[in-house]
Amino acid sequence: MSELQDLALELRRQLAWQESDGTRGLLRSPGPAQPAEKAPAPARRPESAPAPAPVSDATPGAEQTLEQVRAELGACTRCKLCKARKNIVFGVGNPRAELVFVGEGPGEEEDRQGVPFVGAAGQLLTKMIEAMKFSRDSVYICNVVKCRPPGNRNPEPEEIAACEPFLKAQLGVIKPKVIVALGKFASQTLLRDTTPITRMRGQWRSYEGIPLMPTFHPAYLLRSPDEKKKAWLDLQEVMKKFGKK
């Protein structure tokens, strides 16, 4: 009994305390917990733009190599010279040469082998190079047109125009100290000058800041051996540029 009386007394005290706090009725046992309101999801950020692709070596302005220039030339069909050629004759020699010889175009033997200046005119050019105290392997040799004109005729303006970008690219890669232009077509193409080679030869000119010496083509010297003395004077001027006596 005493325990029941104590319990009843405690209940009355609890009710009195609730009334003083403004609460009426017995306290209810807490119901099941209500799920807390979910926090609003954060606003979705817009997807960022993809990172730019890394710049490759092939971007415009990147320095090329002779191999890349040759690859760009490909199996060229840019002019009608492609119809009768056996081989494209690109160039040969040291890709870092300080001295470059530019001729007109390949002949029959060059077309057969795919190498510039390997026929009779090429043999004379090799002697000229050695007389200048260079070796053929130390210089670079190429032509204005890369395919043989039929019957060794003169290259036509549209044929020169089709090949000229690749000649310019070759010279741009090598960056020689001196260029020797062999004959009329090489000299006139590089210099944009129609002055006859007989009047142009022996006079220093400039191609994009590079000293250029126009002289006779070795094939012409084979036909006109008396002109070899003039060509040798021209080459001696080139030797002076390299400090050679």
Per-residue pLDDT reduced to its tens digit, 43-69: 443 333 333 333 233 334 457 999 999
How many percent of the chain have pLDDT more than 90?
73
Question: DSSP secondary structure string, 48-110?
Answer: PPPPPPPPPTTSTTSPP-HHHHHHHH-S--SSGGGGT-SS---EEE-TT-SEEEEES---HHH
The mean pLDDT of 201-205, rounded to a whole number, is 98
**pTM for the complete prediction?**
0.75
Instruction: pLDDT band for 34, please (50, 70, 90 cuts).
Output: very low
* 169 phi, psi to nearest 5 deg: -65, -40
Contact 116, 122 (CB under 8 A): yes
Which residue type, as a one-letter code, is found at position 135?
Answer: S
Cα–Cα distance for residue pair 124/140, rounded to 1 Å = 16
pLDDT at 105 over 80: yes
All structural domains of the chain:
66-241 (3.40.470.10)
Indicate the SS3 state at residue 155: coil
Per-residue pLDDT reduced to its tens digit, 113-172: 999 999 999 999 999 999 999 999 999 999 999 999 999 999 999 999 999 999 999 999
